[in-house]
């Protein structure tokens, strides 16, 4: 779908509606410039509180918290952990969807 440079803001909304839902999500996440913004956007998408979303980074054989900052000093998750969902997801690269907390 081509859009002319003179198209108004209404056209941008029409394009967004025409995109597949995952494309809109990716587009919104690409606009984020910090870990905090990414987590805020994810919390909006999943309709949960911002404190219910965490961002972790693989560093060697462990996962460290990037966000929320309060958890950065709390510790880490070893990738070898068979019980930690985050470690299992990072190791297998397969998503798990459940809400049994």
Q: How far is CA 33 from the centre of its chain?
A: 12
Which of the four pLDDT bands, split at 50, 70 and 90, describes residue 97?
confident
pLDDT digits (tens, 9 = 90+) for 42-58: 999 889 999 889 899 99
Q: Helix H segments across the chain?
A: 9-18, 21-30, 35-46, 85-92
* pLDDT tens column, 1-23: 444 444 555 676 666 566 667 78
Q: So what's the pLDDT on residue 31?
A: 93
- Domain borders along the chain are 11-53, 54-94
Taking the C-alpha atoms of residue 42 and residue 39, their distance in angstroms, rounded to an integer, is 5
Better-predicted residue by pLDDT, 79 or 24: 79
User: Is 37 strand, coil or helix?
Assistant: helix
Query: How far does the chain reach from its first CA to its final CA, in angstroms?
Result: 43
Average pLDDT, the chain: 81
């Amino acid at each position: 779908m081509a859009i002319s440079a003179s198209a108004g803001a209404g056209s941008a909304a029409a394009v967004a509606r025409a995109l597949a839902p995952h494309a809109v999500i990716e587009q919104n996440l690409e606009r984020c410039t910090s870990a905090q913004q990414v987590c805020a956007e994810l919390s909006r998408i999943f309709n949960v509180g911002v404190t219910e979303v965490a961002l972790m980074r693989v560093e060697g054989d462990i996962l460290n918290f990037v966000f929320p900052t309060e958890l950065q000093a709390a510790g880490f998750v070893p990738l070898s952990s068979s019980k930690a969902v985050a470690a299992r997801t990072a190791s297998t690269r397969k998503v798990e969807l459940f809400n049994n907390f």
